[in-house]
Structures are given as C-alpha cells and as structure tokens.
Structure 1
Amino acid sequence: MKSKLTAVALAAVVVAGTAATAVPASAATARTGPTRCHTADLKAGFATGEDARPEMGQSKKQTQAYVWFTNRSKRTCSLSGFAGVDMIGAQKSDGTWSLVRSSKKPVKMILERGATVDFSITLLPVARSTPQKEKFVPAKFLVTPPNETQHFTLKWPFGGQILKQDGATHPATYLNPVGL
C-alpha cells in the first residue's frame, strides 16, 4: 500500500511539474492577441478584378499580381511575414522558380472570421519576340502562407510571359510581404 501511495504522489508531482513547465504564468499573461493562421484556416486565390490584373501585355515596366488569403475558420487569426511562392512554368525548360523576397518589412495582420488580406508579386513581363530561353511562361503558383509548410496550388489566370531571372541575385520578379 505504501508503494502505491508513493507512486501516486510521485505521479502527481510529475504531472504538476510538467504543467508548470509547459505554461509558466509569465508566458500565459504575455500571450495576447490571436494565434497565427494555418493553411487549413485559409483559402487563397489571385485577385482578378480589372484594377488588380497585372499588365502582362506590356514589356516596358514591372507590374503586380495580387494573391489573397481569406480567413475561413471560426476564429480570429494572424498572418505576418512573406508567403512562399514557387512558380511552375508551362514550358518544359521553365521548371520551378522560387521567388525571392523584397526588402520591405512585414507587419502583423489580424484576420477576423471572413476577413481577407493580400500580398503582391512584382513581375517583369517580356515581349513575345524575346528569345524563348529568356522567358518564363507561368502556369501554376504554389503559394504557402507565412510560417506554414502546406501550400495552395493556384492556376495562373493572366497569360503573358516573364523575363526569366530565376538565377539572378536581384531579380525584377519578387514577393512583397502579406498586407503590403
């Protein structure tokens, strides 16, 4: 009987110690605001309204495409940082191009249930006459929300071609943070 009582008391101390270690009082009070949004909390797509469409028919300047995230969960959540974006090309020679980040500083975005936030992808379109090896023809975008590992697969709806700079140090096609 004494050994059972000792075992129960020891178990209670271990459980109590674990609970105190897992959620210290200072951490519980310091945690304010909603937790981050997970891929399962969101839906995503390209903004396709007339004022949001990239100017893919021109080749003299950069243009922007916008990807949106909508909170479809039943809770408020936050997004902060850069999405991950891999473009998959339509040509066999295109392969996959992982876009680099701009130097803009991210801000924390709070998304209530049903709220939407977007981010822009700056693109440098090229003329049809550009040599094939110098152009990337987008087909799909794999878009991963900030701090997540699961992605959305979005079909590129705008046509056109981008100057292929997937190996450049400072390419003219890049990502901006969520909310900016």
Structure 2
Amino acid sequence: MKYTRITALAAVSLAATLSLTACGSDNSAQGSVSKDSSSTAGSSSSDNQSSSDTGSKSQSNSGSDGSQAGSAKSGSGQDTAAETTSNGTAAGGKTTFCKTKDLAIDAAPDSADPGRVNITMMNRGATTCSATGFAGVDIKDADHTSNPIERGHAQPRITTLKPGDAAVFDIAYTADNSGNSLSSPTNILVTPPNETHTVTLNWPTGAGDIKGAYTDVQVYPTHTVNQG
C-alpha cells in the first residue's frame, strides 16, 4: 500500500515536469518567431529606406540636370536677342530707320514744275538705313504761323539707303501766276519718316507761289533717286 502511494506521487511529479518543459518550449518558440518577425520587419524597413534614398538621389540629380539645361537655353536666347549686324540692320535682317542726324536734307524747286518742291535726304551715316514712308512737313509763313501739310494719295515705296545714297520726296500745290498769292512761305520744317527730330529748311528761291491756302499743299512719300 505504501509502495503504491509512492509510485503515484512519482507519476504526478513526472507529469508536472513534462508540462513545465512543454510550456517553456512553446514560449521559446514564440520568442523565436517574434525575433524573426522583428528581424524581417527591420530588414523591410531598411530596404524601404534604401529605396527612398535612391529615389531622392534620382530626383535630385534629375532636377540638377533640368536646371542646367534650362540655363543653357536661356543663355542661347539672350545671345540671339543681342545679335546685330555690322551694317546697321537688326537681328533677322531688318533695316533700321534713318536718323535725322545721319541725313543731309535740302530743298529745291522742281525745274519742270513750278508747283513742286523736291526735298532730298542723303544718307551720310556709316550704315544702311530705311527712309520708307511719309516725312512730316510743316510750312512756316511770314506771319509766324506753322501749317501742317496733308499727305497725298500715294502708296509708299521701299526706300533703303546705303551710305551716300539719297531719297527724294515732293511737296506739290497749284502754282499761282497772278502775283496776288496770299501765302508767303519762309521755311519748311521736315521730320524724316519714323523720326521725331525736325530740321528747318529755307523756302527755296525760285519755287512758284502757292495758290489758295496751305491746306491745298500735299506731301508725297519718299523714293530713291533712281526710282524717278
């Protein structure tokens, strides 16, 4: 009877030992799994950080290259805009308008028509220029009034002047042969086409008297001498 009781106690003790061993093994396994999961998560985080760094570097490099390309284009554009040719034309081949200071301007009566005054503009500058269009003309009278002259009905002709070339335009009116003209012109004020600076010329000796008022006088566009 005593032996049987000892045997039963030994069996209970063995069962408890096995139970504790099993629990320790499960905890150890869970700890191992947890560590592995943590390690995997850490590895994924490291990979993601590496990808982020790579993307950031790629964007940084791309932005730098783009900025350099834009700067090069801007520089090229500025160089093109600044280009001019040595003969006075702007970039693209457009000729600049003649400046008053570069023109020698003179007025003379037309030998074939007493009701016409020819005004010549010679390019004394060093570059080619354009005198195309209508000059501004006022006639100053002996009574000190200044009278603007209207444009005649004519189309401007291309008038490009190389250094030494001349352009001509006319002011025309009906000549008064009666000797009773009420007009007494003393000066012609000329502003070349597309200019703002004016020169004052003397009314040419030998020009016919003006019949009627200054409103009857007309100015015509410029043309080169060889255009007639």
TM-score (norm. length: structure 1): 0.69
Structure 2: how far apart are the matches of 1:79 and 1:71?
Answer: 9
**Corresponding residue for residue 170 of structure 2:** 120
Q: Are 2:201 and 1:154 aligned? A: yes
Change (3 A) 1:75 1:22: closer
**Corresponding residue for residue 129 of structure 1:** 180
**Corresponding residue for residue 51 of structure 1:** 111
Alignment of 1:1-12 (within 5 A): none
**Corresponding residue for residue 93 of structure 2:** 31
The structure with the greater share of residues assigned to helix is: 2
Q: Tell which structure's C-alpha radius of gyration is larger.
A: 2
Identity value in percent: 31
**Corresponding residue for residue 142 of structure 1:** 189
Deviation at 1:162, TM superposition (A): 1.5
Structure 2: how far apart are the matches of 1:123 and 1:155?
Answer: 17
On the 8 A contact 2:117/2:171 being kept in 1, the answer is yes
Deviation at 1:107, TM superposition (A): 1.1
Q: 2:135 aligns with which of 78, 83, 105?
A: 83
Question: Aligned Cα RMSD in Å?
Answer: 3.3
Structure 2: how far apart are the matches of 1:39 and 1:70?
Answer: 10
Alignment of 1:13-28 (within 5 A): 16=75, 19=78, 28=91
Structure 1: how far apart are the matches of 2:143 and 2:174?
Answer: 18
Point out which structure has higher relative CO (alpha carbons under 8 A, 6+ apart).
1
Q: How many aligned residue pairs are there?
A: 149
TM-score (norm. length: structure 2): 0.55
- Deviations along 1:38-90, whole A, 9 cap, x unmatched? 11111100135x736x52xxxxxxx2110000000011111111000000001
Structure 1: how far apart are the matches of 2:204 and 2:155?
Answer: 28
